[in-house]
Amino acid sequence: MEETRVVLHKAGEIQPTSSREYEAAGGYAGLRKALADPDQIVDMIKASGLRGRGGAGFPTGLKMSFTKGASADKKYVVCNADEGEPGTNKDRVIMEEVPHRLIEGMVIAALGVGADQGYIYLRAEYPYVRTILEKALADARANGFLGRDILGSGFAFDIQLFIGAGAYVCGEETALLDSLEGKRGEPRVKPPYPGVAGLWGKPTLVNNVETLSNLPAIMEHGPEWFKSMGTEKFPGTKLFTLSGNVVNRGVYEFPVGITIRELFEVVGGGCPNGKRLYAIQTGGASGNIIPASLLDTPMDPESCAAAGATFGAGDLMFMDENCCLLDVLENLTEFFVKESCGKCCACREGNPQLLHLVQKFRHGTAQRGDLDLLVELGSAMTIGCLCGLGQAAPNPILSVVRFFPQVFTTSDAYAKEVS
Ligand SMILES: Cc1cc2nc3c(=O)[nH]c(=O)nc-3n(C[C@H](O)[C@H](O)[C@H](O)COP(=O)(O)O)c2cc1C
Ligand code: SF4
Protein backbone atom coordinates (compact mmCIF):
# COMPACT_ATOMS: atom_id res chain seq x y z
CA MET A 1 0.00 0.00 0.00
CA GLU A 2 1.62 3.20 -1.16
CA GLU A 3 2.11 6.05 1.28
CA THR A 4 0.88 9.58 0.57
CA ARG A 5 3.98 11.57 1.37
CA VAL A 6 3.43 15.28 1.99
CA VAL A 7 5.46 15.91 5.12
CA LEU A 8 7.83 13.06 4.27
CA HIS A 9 8.09 14.04 0.59
CA LYS A 10 11.63 13.11 -0.57
CA ALA A 11 12.53 11.80 2.89
CA GLY A 12 15.34 9.29 2.57
CA GLU A 13 16.11 10.47 -0.98
CA ILE A 14 18.00 13.67 -0.20
CA GLN A 15 20.87 14.59 2.09
CA PRO A 16 18.84 15.80 5.10
CA THR A 17 20.96 18.76 6.19
CA SER A 18 21.51 20.21 2.71
CA SER A 19 19.21 23.11 1.79
CA ARG A 20 20.57 22.86 -1.76
CA GLU A 21 19.26 19.29 -2.14
CA TYR A 22 15.99 20.16 -0.37
CA GLU A 23 15.47 23.11 -2.70
CA ALA A 24 16.31 21.05 -5.78
CA ALA A 25 13.58 18.62 -4.66
CA GLY A 26 11.00 21.44 -4.55
CA GLY A 27 11.72 22.69 -1.04
CA TYR A 28 11.44 26.34 0.04
CA ALA A 29 8.90 26.97 -2.77
CA GLY A 30 6.17 27.46 -0.14
CA LEU A 31 8.29 30.04 1.67
CA ARG A 32 8.88 31.98 -1.55
CA LYS A 33 5.12 32.15 -2.12
CA ALA A 34 4.53 33.17 1.49
CA LEU A 35 7.12 35.96 1.25
CA ALA A 36 5.31 37.36 -1.79
CA ASP A 37 2.15 37.96 0.28
CA PRO A 38 2.68 37.44 4.04
CA ASP A 39 -0.76 38.80 4.92
CA GLN A 40 -2.53 35.83 3.36
CA ILE A 41 -0.63 33.15 5.35
CA VAL A 42 -2.96 32.84 8.35
CA ASP A 43 -6.07 32.95 6.13
CA MET A 44 -4.67 30.19 3.94
CA ILE A 45 -3.87 27.98 6.93
CA LYS A 46 -7.36 28.62 8.30
CA ALA A 47 -8.92 27.75 4.94
CA SER A 48 -6.89 24.53 4.72
CA GLY A 49 -8.51 23.19 7.92
CA LEU A 50 -5.08 22.12 9.27
CA ARG A 51 -5.33 20.89 12.86
CA GLY A 52 -2.52 20.29 15.35
CA ARG A 53 -0.64 17.01 15.05
CA GLY A 54 0.69 17.06 18.66
CA GLY A 55 -2.35 15.31 20.15
CA ALA A 56 -5.01 17.92 20.91
CA GLY A 57 -6.00 18.65 17.29
CA PHE A 58 -6.59 22.39 17.77
CA PRO A 59 -7.18 24.34 14.50
CA THR A 60 -3.77 25.73 13.55
CA GLY A 61 -4.98 28.78 11.60
CA LEU A 62 -7.14 29.90 14.50
CA LYS A 63 -4.21 29.55 16.90
CA MET A 64 -2.03 31.56 14.53
CA SER A 65 -4.68 34.29 14.33
CA PHE A 66 -4.52 34.79 18.15
CA THR A 67 -0.76 35.43 18.01
CA LYS A 68 -1.03 37.52 14.85
CA GLY A 69 -3.76 39.66 16.43
CA ALA A 70 -1.92 40.22 19.73
CA SER A 71 0.01 43.47 19.84
CA ALA A 72 3.47 43.20 21.40
CA ASP A 73 7.05 44.35 20.84
CA LYS A 74 8.18 40.72 20.62
CA LYS A 75 6.57 37.46 19.47
CA TYR A 76 7.88 33.92 19.33
CA VAL A 77 7.33 30.72 17.41
CA VAL A 78 8.12 27.60 19.43
CA CYS A 79 8.33 24.15 17.90
CA ASN A 80 7.36 21.38 20.29
CA ALA A 81 9.83 18.59 19.52
CA ASP A 82 9.68 17.01 22.97
CA GLU A 83 8.04 13.81 21.68
CA GLY A 84 8.00 12.16 25.09
CA GLU A 85 4.87 10.03 24.61
CA PRO A 86 5.96 6.37 24.73
CA GLY A 87 5.15 4.81 21.36
CA THR A 88 5.53 8.04 19.36
CA ASN A 89 8.49 8.44 17.00
CA LYS A 90 7.06 10.42 14.10
CA ASP A 91 8.62 13.83 14.79
CA ARG A 92 12.01 12.16 15.04
CA VAL A 93 11.65 10.86 11.46
CA ILE A 94 10.77 14.34 10.14
CA MET A 95 13.73 15.95 11.90
CA GLU A 96 16.12 13.18 10.84
CA GLU A 97 15.05 12.99 7.20
CA VAL A 98 13.66 16.42 6.19
CA PRO A 99 14.74 19.00 8.81
CA HIS A 100 14.57 21.80 6.23
CA ARG A 101 10.80 21.23 5.88
CA LEU A 102 10.42 22.01 9.60
CA ILE A 103 12.68 25.07 9.30
CA GLU A 104 10.68 26.26 6.28
CA GLY A 105 7.42 25.73 8.19
CA MET A 106 8.69 27.72 11.15
CA VAL A 107 9.77 30.64 8.95
CA ILE A 108 6.32 30.67 7.28
CA ALA A 109 4.62 30.58 10.70
CA ALA A 110 6.82 33.42 11.98
CA LEU A 111 6.10 35.49 8.90
CA GLY A 112 2.37 34.86 9.34
CA VAL A 113 2.18 35.89 13.01
CA GLY A 114 4.94 38.54 13.01
CA ALA A 115 7.56 36.76 15.14
CA ASP A 116 11.29 37.30 14.81
CA GLN A 117 12.61 34.59 17.13
CA GLY A 118 11.99 30.85 17.12
CA TYR A 119 12.93 27.92 19.33
CA ILE A 120 12.94 24.20 18.73
CA TYR A 121 12.45 22.43 22.07
CA LEU A 122 14.06 19.06 21.41
CA ARG A 123 13.86 16.08 23.73
CA ALA A 124 17.19 15.25 25.35
CA GLU A 125 16.92 11.59 24.34
CA TYR A 126 17.47 12.48 20.65
CA PRO A 127 21.19 13.44 20.62
CA TYR A 128 21.66 12.33 16.99
CA VAL A 129 18.70 14.53 15.94
CA ARG A 130 20.38 17.44 17.69
CA THR A 131 23.43 17.04 15.45
CA ILE A 132 21.26 16.93 12.31
CA LEU A 133 19.25 20.00 13.36
CA GLU A 134 22.39 21.97 14.23
CA LYS A 135 23.82 21.29 10.77
CA ALA A 136 20.53 22.06 8.98
CA LEU A 137 20.08 25.33 10.90
CA ALA A 138 23.65 26.40 10.08
CA ASP A 139 23.08 25.53 6.42
CA ALA A 140 19.78 27.48 6.36
CA ARG A 141 21.53 30.52 7.85
CA ALA A 142 24.40 30.31 5.40
CA ASN A 143 21.99 30.16 2.45
CA GLY A 144 19.63 32.98 3.42
CA PHE A 145 16.66 30.94 4.69
CA LEU A 146 17.22 32.23 8.23
CA GLY A 147 18.75 35.45 9.50
CA ARG A 148 18.30 39.18 9.19
CA ASP A 149 17.18 39.36 5.57
CA ILE A 150 15.53 36.11 4.53
CA LEU A 151 15.85 35.59 0.76
CA GLY A 152 16.37 39.35 0.35
CA SER A 153 12.85 40.14 1.62
CA GLY A 154 13.92 42.18 4.64
CA PHE A 155 12.14 39.71 6.95
CA ALA A 156 14.27 38.73 9.97
CA PHE A 157 13.85 35.46 11.85
CA ASP A 158 16.20 32.97 13.47
CA ILE A 159 15.79 29.68 15.31
CA GLN A 160 17.59 28.55 18.44
CA LEU A 161 17.80 24.89 19.41
CA PHE A 162 16.98 24.15 23.06
CA ILE A 163 17.51 20.74 24.60
CA GLY A 164 15.05 19.51 27.25
CA ALA A 165 16.06 17.55 30.32
CA GLY A 166 14.03 14.37 29.92
CA ALA A 167 10.66 15.20 31.52
CA TYR A 168 7.50 13.95 29.78
CA VAL A 169 5.45 16.81 31.26
CA CYS A 170 7.64 19.34 29.41
CA GLY A 171 5.83 18.32 26.22
CA GLU A 172 2.78 20.11 27.64
CA GLU A 173 3.04 23.51 26.01
CA THR A 174 3.07 25.71 29.12
CA ALA A 175 5.46 23.45 31.06
CA LEU A 176 7.65 23.59 27.96
CA LEU A 177 7.61 27.40 28.09
CA ASP A 178 8.57 27.39 31.78
CA SER A 179 11.43 25.04 30.96
CA LEU A 180 12.54 27.31 28.10
CA GLU A 181 12.56 30.21 30.55
CA GLY A 182 15.00 28.23 32.70
CA LYS A 183 12.46 27.23 35.35
CA ARG A 184 11.38 23.80 36.54
CA GLY A 185 8.86 22.62 33.90
CA GLU A 186 5.37 22.68 35.41
CA PRO A 187 2.10 23.34 33.54
CA ARG A 188 0.63 26.81 33.97
CA VAL A 189 -3.01 27.55 34.71
CA LYS A 190 -4.78 28.47 31.44
CA PRO A 191 -6.01 31.01 30.40
CA PRO A 192 -4.04 32.99 29.46
CA TYR A 193 -3.03 30.79 26.53
CA PRO A 194 0.49 30.96 25.05
CA GLY A 195 -0.86 32.52 21.85
CA VAL A 196 -1.35 35.80 23.71
CA ALA A 197 0.88 35.39 26.81
CA GLY A 198 3.52 32.71 26.34
CA LEU A 199 7.30 32.81 26.50
CA TRP A 200 8.37 35.55 28.94
CA GLY A 201 4.76 36.73 28.80
CA LYS A 202 4.91 37.49 25.07
CA PRO A 203 2.54 36.14 22.38
CA THR A 204 3.90 32.74 21.41
CA LEU A 205 2.79 30.28 18.76
CA VAL A 206 3.49 26.73 20.01
CA ASN A 207 3.09 23.98 17.45
CA ASN A 208 4.13 20.40 16.96
CA VAL A 209 6.91 19.42 14.49
CA GLU A 210 4.48 17.67 12.12
CA THR A 211 1.99 20.55 12.22
CA LEU A 212 4.64 23.10 11.24
CA SER A 213 6.01 20.77 8.58
CA ASN A 214 2.62 20.87 6.82
CA LEU A 215 2.78 24.64 6.23
CA PRO A 216 5.18 24.63 3.22
CA ALA A 217 2.96 22.32 1.14
CA ILE A 218 -0.20 24.28 2.01
CA MET A 219 1.51 27.51 0.92
CA GLU A 220 2.77 25.90 -2.27
CA HIS A 221 -0.31 23.93 -3.39
CA GLY A 222 -3.15 25.82 -1.67
CA PRO A 223 -5.87 25.00 0.89
CA GLU A 224 -8.15 23.16 -1.57
CA TRP A 225 -5.41 20.71 -2.47
CA PHE A 226 -4.78 20.06 1.23
CA LYS A 227 -8.48 19.54 1.91
CA SER A 228 -8.67 16.92 -0.83
CA MET A 229 -6.87 14.53 1.54
CA GLY A 230 -8.04 13.19 4.88
CA THR A 231 -11.50 13.74 6.36
CA GLU A 232 -13.73 16.80 6.22
CA LYS A 233 -13.06 17.65 9.87
CA PHE A 234 -9.38 16.65 9.89
CA PRO A 235 -7.89 17.21 6.43
CA GLY A 236 -4.45 16.18 5.26
CA THR A 237 -2.16 13.29 5.92
CA LYS A 238 -0.89 11.97 9.24
CA LEU A 239 2.24 10.19 10.31
CA PHE A 240 1.24 6.97 12.09
CA THR A 241 3.64 5.14 14.41
CA LEU A 242 3.14 1.36 14.48
CA SER A 243 4.77 -0.47 17.38
CA GLY A 244 4.50 -3.59 19.53
CA ASN A 245 3.50 -6.99 18.12
CA VAL A 246 3.41 -6.04 14.45
CA VAL A 247 5.81 -7.22 11.74
CA ASN A 248 6.58 -3.89 10.02
CA ARG A 249 7.07 -1.54 12.94
CA GLY A 250 7.75 2.04 11.88
CA VAL A 251 6.38 5.44 10.89
CA TYR A 252 4.13 5.74 7.84
CA GLU A 253 2.31 8.69 6.24
CA PHE A 254 -1.26 8.17 5.03
CA PRO A 255 -4.38 10.33 4.62
CA VAL A 256 -6.26 10.81 7.89
CA GLY A 257 -9.16 8.33 8.02
CA ILE A 258 -7.25 5.22 6.97
CA THR A 259 -8.57 2.31 9.07
CA ILE A 260 -6.62 0.65 11.85
CA ARG A 261 -7.11 -2.63 9.94
CA GLU A 262 -5.34 -1.26 6.86
CA LEU A 263 -2.50 0.00 9.00
CA PHE A 264 -2.24 -3.29 10.91
CA GLU A 265 -2.80 -5.87 8.18
CA VAL A 266 -1.65 -4.25 4.95
CA VAL A 267 1.04 -1.82 6.13
CA GLY A 268 2.08 -3.56 9.34
CA GLY A 269 1.85 -7.15 8.07
CA GLY A 270 -0.07 -8.43 11.12
CA CYS A 271 1.35 -10.01 14.28
CA PRO A 272 4.68 -11.84 14.05
CA ASN A 273 4.68 -15.67 14.09
CA GLY A 274 1.02 -15.88 13.07
CA LYS A 275 -0.19 -14.89 16.54
CA ARG A 276 -3.71 -13.54 17.04
CA LEU A 277 -4.22 -9.82 17.69
CA TYR A 278 -5.69 -9.26 21.15
CA ALA A 279 -5.63 -5.51 21.86
CA ILE A 280 -4.44 -2.17 20.47
CA GLN A 281 -3.36 0.85 22.45
CA THR A 282 -4.42 3.87 20.42
CA GLY A 283 -3.02 7.40 20.65
CA GLY A 284 0.04 6.72 22.82
CA ALA A 285 0.66 5.68 26.41
CA SER A 286 -2.26 7.74 27.71
CA GLY A 287 -4.64 6.52 25.01
CA ASN A 288 -7.45 3.98 25.14
CA ILE A 289 -6.83 0.26 24.78
CA ILE A 290 -9.37 -1.31 22.42
CA PRO A 291 -10.14 -4.89 21.32
CA ALA A 292 -9.24 -6.38 17.92
CA SER A 293 -12.95 -6.31 17.05
CA LEU A 294 -12.61 -2.52 16.51
CA LEU A 295 -9.97 -2.90 13.78
CA ASP A 296 -12.23 -1.25 11.21
CA THR A 297 -12.21 2.07 13.08
CA PRO A 298 -10.96 4.91 10.84
CA MET A 299 -7.99 6.81 12.26
CA ASP A 300 -9.46 10.29 12.62
CA PRO A 301 -10.38 12.01 15.91
CA GLU A 302 -14.14 11.87 15.38
CA SER A 303 -14.32 8.17 14.43
CA CYS A 304 -11.88 7.23 17.19
CA ALA A 305 -13.94 9.07 19.81
CA ALA A 306 -17.16 7.41 18.61
CA ALA A 307 -15.59 3.95 18.84
CA GLY A 308 -13.93 4.50 22.22
CA ALA A 309 -10.42 4.77 20.77
CA THR A 310 -7.96 7.69 20.94
CA PHE A 311 -6.51 9.48 17.91
CA GLY A 312 -3.82 11.43 19.82
CA ALA A 313 -0.66 11.79 17.78
CA GLY A 314 -1.51 8.78 15.60
CA ASP A 315 0.22 6.00 17.56
CA LEU A 316 -0.87 2.37 17.49
CA MET A 317 0.70 -0.24 19.78
CA PHE A 318 -0.42 -3.77 18.92
CA MET A 319 -0.62 -6.56 21.50
CA ASP A 320 -0.94 -10.23 20.61
CA GLU A 321 -2.72 -13.06 22.42
CA ASN A 322 0.21 -13.57 24.84
CA CYS A 323 -0.10 -10.10 26.25
CA CYS A 324 -1.24 -9.58 29.86
CA LEU A 325 -3.21 -6.35 30.07
CA LEU A 326 -2.67 -6.04 33.83
CA ASP A 327 1.10 -6.07 33.18
CA VAL A 328 0.59 -3.35 30.57
CA LEU A 329 -1.53 -1.23 32.93
CA GLU A 330 1.01 -1.60 35.73
CA ASN A 331 3.83 -0.55 33.43
CA LEU A 332 1.95 2.47 32.07
CA THR A 333 0.75 3.64 35.48
CA GLU A 334 4.29 3.38 36.88
CA PHE A 335 5.31 5.73 34.08
CA PHE A 336 2.66 8.30 35.06
CA VAL A 337 3.59 8.06 38.76
CA LYS A 338 7.19 8.80 37.84
CA GLU A 339 6.40 11.58 35.36
CA SER A 340 3.74 13.46 37.38
CA CYS A 341 5.23 16.88 38.16
CA GLY A 342 3.42 16.95 41.52
CA LYS A 343 1.86 20.37 41.11
CA CYS A 344 -1.72 19.20 41.68
CA CYS A 345 -2.97 16.73 44.25
CA ALA A 346 -5.35 14.77 42.01
CA CYS A 347 -2.46 13.59 39.82
CA ARG A 348 0.31 13.47 42.43
CA GLU A 349 -1.73 11.31 44.83
CA GLY A 350 -4.14 9.77 42.32
CA ASN A 351 -1.59 7.98 40.15
CA PRO A 352 0.08 6.07 43.02
CA GLN A 353 -3.38 4.99 44.22
CA LEU A 354 -4.31 3.82 40.70
CA LEU A 355 -1.05 1.86 40.61
CA HIS A 356 -1.74 0.32 44.01
CA LEU A 357 -5.19 -0.84 42.87
CA VAL A 358 -3.91 -2.21 39.53
CA GLN A 359 -1.21 -4.12 41.42
CA LYS A 360 -3.83 -5.65 43.74
CA PHE A 361 -5.63 -7.05 40.69
CA ARG A 362 -2.35 -8.15 39.16
CA HIS A 363 -1.33 -10.02 42.31
CA GLY A 364 -4.80 -11.48 42.84
CA THR A 365 -5.42 -9.66 46.14
CA ALA A 366 -8.11 -7.19 45.03
CA GLN A 367 -11.28 -7.12 47.14
CA ARG A 368 -14.94 -6.23 46.75
CA GLY A 369 -15.18 -2.50 46.01
CA ASP A 370 -11.72 -2.18 44.44
CA LEU A 371 -13.02 -2.12 40.87
CA ASP A 372 -15.57 0.59 41.72
CA LEU A 373 -12.84 2.55 43.47
CA LEU A 374 -10.55 2.24 40.45
CA VAL A 375 -13.25 3.59 38.14
CA GLU A 376 -14.33 6.34 40.56
CA LEU A 377 -10.77 7.55 41.12
CA GLY A 378 -9.84 7.36 37.42
CA SER A 379 -12.98 9.26 36.40
CA ALA A 380 -12.35 11.95 39.03
CA MET A 381 -8.80 12.42 37.74
CA THR A 382 -9.98 12.99 34.18
CA ILE A 383 -11.81 16.11 35.35
CA GLY A 384 -9.84 17.10 38.47
CA CYS A 385 -6.24 17.24 37.22
CA LEU A 386 -4.66 20.49 36.07
CA CYS A 387 -3.07 19.28 32.83
CA GLY A 388 -3.43 16.59 30.21
CA LEU A 389 -0.92 14.30 31.90
CA GLY A 390 -3.12 13.65 34.91
CA GLN A 391 -6.37 13.97 32.97
CA ALA A 392 -5.37 11.27 30.48
CA ALA A 393 -3.36 8.95 32.75
CA PRO A 394 -6.43 6.84 33.73
CA ASN A 395 -7.51 6.34 30.07
CA PRO A 396 -5.76 2.97 29.59
CA ILE A 397 -7.28 1.61 32.83
CA LEU A 398 -10.80 2.93 32.18
CA SER A 399 -10.77 1.58 28.62
CA VAL A 400 -9.66 -1.86 29.78
CA VAL A 401 -12.50 -1.83 32.34
CA ARG A 402 -14.87 -0.99 29.47
CA PHE A 403 -13.60 -3.35 26.78
CA PHE A 404 -11.92 -6.16 28.76
CA PRO A 405 -13.84 -6.36 32.10
CA GLN A 406 -12.83 -10.02 32.49
CA VAL A 407 -9.26 -8.88 33.12
CA PHE A 408 -10.41 -7.56 36.50
CA THR A 409 -13.33 -9.80 37.37
CA THR A 410 -11.32 -13.02 37.00
CA SER A 411 -8.53 -11.78 39.28
CA ASP A 412 -8.34 -14.54 41.98
CA ALA A 413 -9.42 -13.04 45.30
CA TYR A 414 -11.78 -10.52 43.70
CA ALA A 415 -13.54 -13.25 41.70
CA LYS A 416 -14.00 -15.38 44.83
CA GLU A 417 -15.31 -12.47 46.87
CA VAL A 418 -17.86 -11.21 44.36
CA SER A 419 -19.06 -14.65 43.18
C1 LIG B 1 1.79 15.56 29.22
C2 LIG B 1 1.73 16.14 27.86
C3 LIG B 1 2.76 15.90 26.95
C4 LIG B 1 2.72 16.45 25.68
N5 LIG B 1 3.75 16.18 24.83
C6 LIG B 1 3.76 16.74 23.59
C7 LIG B 1 4.85 16.52 22.71
O8 LIG B 1 5.80 15.82 23.04
N9 LIG B 1 4.78 17.11 21.49
C10 LIG B 1 3.73 17.91 21.10
O11 LIG B 1 3.73 18.45 20.01
N12 LIG B 1 2.68 18.12 21.92
C13 LIG B 1 2.68 17.56 23.16
N14 LIG B 1 1.64 17.83 24.00
C15 LIG B 1 0.56 18.74 23.53
C16 LIG B 1 0.97 20.21 23.71
O17 LIG B 1 0.55 20.66 25.00
C18 LIG B 1 0.31 21.13 22.67
O19 LIG B 1 -1.06 20.83 22.59
C20 LIG B 1 0.93 21.00 21.29
O21 LIG B 1 2.32 21.18 21.30
C22 LIG B 1 0.30 22.03 20.36
O23 LIG B 1 0.76 21.86 19.06
P24 LIG B 1 -0.21 21.48 17.87
O25 LIG B 1 -1.41 22.39 17.95
O26 LIG B 1 0.60 21.71 16.65
O27 LIG B 1 -0.60 20.03 18.06
C28 LIG B 1 1.63 17.28 25.29
C29 LIG B 1 0.58 17.51 26.18
C30 LIG B 1 0.64 16.94 27.45
C31 LIG B 1 -0.50 17.20 28.39
S1 SF4 C 1 -1.88 16.87 36.22
FE2 SF4 C 1 0.04 15.96 36.99
S3 SF4 C 1 1.60 16.62 35.56
FE4 SF4 C 1 -0.20 17.96 35.26
S5 SF4 C 1 0.11 19.72 36.61
FE6 SF4 C 1 -1.03 18.23 37.80
S7 SF4 C 1 0.59 17.07 38.88
FE8 SF4 C 1 1.59 18.13 37.21
Q: What is the CA radius of gyration of the chain?
A: 22
| Residue numbers of the domain that contains 357 | 325-418
Please identify, among 293, 320, 347, the residue that sits at the C-terminal boundary of a domain. 320
CB distance 390 to ligand 2 below 6 Å: yes
Question: 273 with 403, same domain?
Answer: no
Tens of pLDDT along 213-224?
999 999 999 999
Question: 309 with 329, same domain?
Answer: no
Question: 128 with 243, same domain?
Answer: no
Question: 263 with 304, same domain?
Answer: yes
CATH of the domain at 176: 3.40.50.11540
Question: 271 with 372, same domain?
Answer: no
CATH of the domain at 375: 1.20.1440.230
Kindly state whether residue 359 falls inside one of the protein's structural domains.
Answer: yes
| Predicted confidence band of residue 291 (pLDDT cuts 50, 70, 90) | very high
What are the backbone dihedrals phi and psi of residue 381, each rounded to the nearest 5 degrees, phi first? -65, -35
| Predicted confidence band of residue 414 (pLDDT cuts 50, 70, 90) | confident
Please identify, among 302, 320, 338, the residue that sits at the C-terminal boundary of a domain. 320
pLDDT at 74 over 80: yes
Compute the mean pLDDT over every residue in the chain, rounded to the nearest whole number.
Answer: 97
> Which ligand is in closest contact with the Cα of 388?
1
Ligand 1 binding residues, C-beta < 6 A: 52-56, 58, 80, 82-85, 168-169, 171-173, 206-208, 211, 387-389
Task: Kindly state the percentage of the chain with pLDDT values over 90.
Answer: 97
Please identify, among 298, 320, 342, the residue that sits at the C-terminal boundary of a domain. 320
Question: 137 with 194, same domain?
Answer: yes
Kindly state whether residue 13 falls inside one of the protein's structural domains.
Answer: no
Question: 60 with 175, same domain?
Answer: yes
**Identity at 112, one-letter amino acid code:** G
Q: Ligand 2 center to residue 74 CA distance, Å?
A: 29
Q: Which pLDDT belongs to residue 412?
A: 72
Q: Which pLDDT belongs to residue 381?
A: 98
Question: 80 with 163, same domain?
Answer: yes
Tens of pLDDT along 357-392?
999 999 999 998 999 999 999 999 999 999 999 999
Tens of pLDDT along 179-221?
999 999 999 999 999 999 999 999 999 999 999 999 999 999 9
Question: 94 with 179, same domain?
Answer: yes
**Contact call for residues 118 and 159 (beta carbons, < 8 A):** yes
CB distance 175 to ligand 2 below 6 Å: no
pLDDT at 94 over 70: yes
Kindly state whether residue 382 falls inside one of the protein's structural domains.
Answer: yes
Distance, CA of 120 to CA of 136 (rounded, Å)? 13
Question: 208 with 111, same domain?
Answer: yes
- Among 86-90, 110-114, 180-184, the minimum mean pLDDT is found in 86-90
Mutate to test the pocket of ligand 1, among 208, 218, 332, 387 (most ligand atoms within 8 A of CB): 208
Q: Ligand 1 center to residue 240 CA distance, Å?
A: 16
Task: Kindly state the percentage of the chain with pLDDT values over 70.
Answer: 100
What are the backbone dihedrals phi and psi of residue 187, each rounded to the nearest 5 degrees, phi first? -60, 145
Kindly state whether residue 124 falls inside one of the protein's structural domains.
Answer: yes
CATH of the domain at 255: 3.10.20.600
Q: Which pLDDT belongs to residue 17?
A: 98
Q: Which pLDDT belongs to residue 419?
A: 66
Burial of 234 (0-12, 13-18, 19+ CB in 10 A): buried
Q: How many domains does the chain have?
A: 3
Q: Which pLDDT belongs to residue 132?
A: 98
Question: 218 with 264, same domain?
Answer: no
- Which atom of ligand 2 lies nearest, measured to the CA of 169? 3
Kindly state whether residue 227 falls inside one of the protein's structural domains.
Answer: no
Residue nearest to atom 2 of ligand 1 (CA): 172
Kindly state whether residue 232 falls inside one of the protein's structural domains.
Answer: no
| Predicted confidence band of residue 417 (pLDDT cuts 50, 70, 90) | confident
- Cβ neighbours for 400, distance < 8 A, ≥ 6 positions apart: 289, 325, 329, 407, 408
Question: 312 with 335, same domain?
Answer: no
Kindly state whether residue 4 falls inside one of the protein's structural domains.
Answer: no
Kindly state whether residue 1 falls inside one of the protein's structural domains.
Answer: no
| Predicted confidence band of residue 259 (pLDDT cuts 50, 70, 90) | very high
H-type helices in 49-151, by residue range?
60-69, 90-97, 99-113, 127-142
Neighbouring CB atoms inside 10 A of 21's CB total 16
